[in-house]
Structure 1
Amino acid sequence: MSNRTTLADLRGMDAGQAARLPPAHLALLLEDAAALRADAKHVSDLLSDALHRRYGAIAIERRQAEGKDTGRVRFLDAGFEITADLPKRVEWDQARLAGAVEAIRGWGEDPYDYVATEIKVAESRFTAWPPKLQALFQPARTVGTGRPSYSLEQVEW
């Protein structure tokens, strides 16, 4: 019998109880959770591949019959309605878009009637700018945070 905290034990705890576990237990639980995520991803990928092998050709035929290359189609198999979705992923060449925007502007029209733009500033560039330039952009900048993460690695003393 081991006094090692398992994921099953952890599921019965709240965050306060888990926070009181020894670092060695937390480190092992992190490893267990990572292995569980990797296994779940493997299983999910395997199922996705299996569904594509089983229904991919049928979905292609149905889309062709409906005159489309992408999107959702439905069909039946052994009493189940199968929904096969092939999302459209559109990418735009930014330099060519800029040229098109300038062409519209040259026609005397407002390009923003047709396109939306988002101006981004790389944080690494912002922090390298001189203070005068940073001050100009500072009012437009909001800094938030992501979810905190931690890793535990045993060290030898």
Structure 2
Amino acid sequence: MSLSLEQAQAMSIGELAGVTAAELMRVQAEAATYLRNAKELKDWIDGAIAMKYEPKVRELRTQLGKDTGIINFDDEGVRVTSDLPKKPVWDQSQLSEIAQRIAASGDNPAEFLDITYKVAERKYTAWPENLRTVFEPARTLKTGKPTFRLSLSQEQ
């Protein structure tokens, strides 16, 4: 008997963990296909909605003088809400120069800027030991959620 996605969803995680590896692999692949298809369908429908309402939203933005933010209007009893959020992008090198000028004038740059320091893990692991030792007290290693991929073993 082949386990369906509906049957798998109705099972407890413990029960599902008790099925064969081959069945887990099959329903995992089927669920991934289902998710991919659902996302593609949602993107397709979202594209149709954008095509239908973008001209009206553009017209309303012009009338209201709103380049960004939320626009609401009704279409046949359905409230249509379009949100065009602001996403400012700051030039990091220019901000660094500004922070240096603020510090040089005697003020604290942290009063004006959110300052974040990052070290790429790939760079860190490539550094010589003496350099890593300097940075090590500032480094905390956290882990993400574990993932598992099931595939057929290669027969030798």
Q: Provide the TM-score with structure 1 as the length reference.
A: 0.90
Task: Kindly provide the amino acid, as one letter, of the partner of residue 101 in structure 2.
Answer: A
Q: Which residue of 1 aligns with 2:32?
A: 34
Task: Kindly provide the amino acid, as one letter, of the partner of residue 26 in structure 1.
Answer: L
- Evaluate the alpha carbon distance shift between residue 29 and residue 70 of structure 1 in structure 2; reply closer, same or farther with a 3 A threshold: same
Stretches of structure 1 that go unaligned for 5 or more consecutive residues are none
Residue of 95, 98, 101 corresponding to 1:100 = 98
Task: Kindly provide the amino acid, as one letter, of the partner of residue 121 in structure 1.
Answer: V
Distance 2:12 2:130 in 1: 48
1:45-124 matched pairs, under 5 angstroms: 45-124=43-122
Q: Percent identity?
A: 34
Report the more deviating stretch, 135-144 or 16-25: 135-144
Distance 2:18 2:96 in 1: 56
4+ aligned runs moved over 6 Å, structure 1: none
Q: Which residue of 2 aligns with 1:154?
A: 152
Distance 1:60 1:107 in 2: 45
Residue deviations 1:90-120 (CA, integer Å, cap 9, x gap): 2111111112222333443322221111000
Task: Kindly provide the amino acid, as one letter, of the partner of residue 150 in structure 1.
Answer: F
Give the C-alpha shift of residue 156 in structure 1. 4.3
Distance 1:114 1:81 in 2: 40
Task: Kindly provide the amino acid, as one letter, of the partner of residue 134 in structure 1.
Answer: R
* Secondary structure at the counterpart of residue 14 of structure 2: helix
- Evaluate the alpha carbon distance shift between residue 156 and residue 142 of structure 1 in structure 2; reply closer, same or farther with a 3 A threshold: closer
Q: Indicate the structure whose relative CO is greater, using CA pairs within 8 Å and at least 6 residues apart.
A: 1
Q: Provide the TM-score with structure 2 as the length reference.
A: 0.90
* Secondary structure at the counterpart of residue 151 of structure 1: coil
Distance 1:47 1:101 in 2: 46
Stretches of structure 2 that go unaligned for 5 or more consecutive residues are none
Distance 1:15 1:140 in 2: 39
